Amino acid sequence: MSTNGKIALGGVVAGLVLIPLIGFWLSLLVIVGVPAVAYLALDPSQRRRLRRVSRKQIGR
């Protein structure tokens, strides 16, 4: 798993753990925000490669 994938997964786990502590909406912000920031941190070529791999897994 790539470093950015680990960061995104860590953000989701952190958001799920924080639900009882900070509330549902702030946890949802963490769950959605961390993977979005990790995706935006990629180079354009890495984003293209990620989209291409995702399409192949779908069956296109």
What integer pLDDT is reported at residue 15 of this predicted model?
A: 78
Report long-range pairs for 4-10 (Cβ below 8 Å, ≥24 apart). Answer: 4/38, 4/39, 4/41, 4/42, 5/38, 7/34, 7/38, 8/34, 8/35, 8/38, 8/39, 10/34
Please tell me which residue, 43 or 5, carries the higher pLDDT value.
43
- Residue 57's pLDDT is what? 65
φ, ψ dihedrals at 26, nearest 5°: -70, -35
Domain boundaries, the chain: 3-58
pLDDT in tens, 49-60: 888 887 766 665
pLDDT at 59: 62
What's residue 60's pLDDT? 54
Could you give the CA distance from residue 57 to residue 35 in angstroms, rounded to a whole number? 19
Quick: pLDDT tens for 19-45: 888 888 887 887 788 888 888 888 999
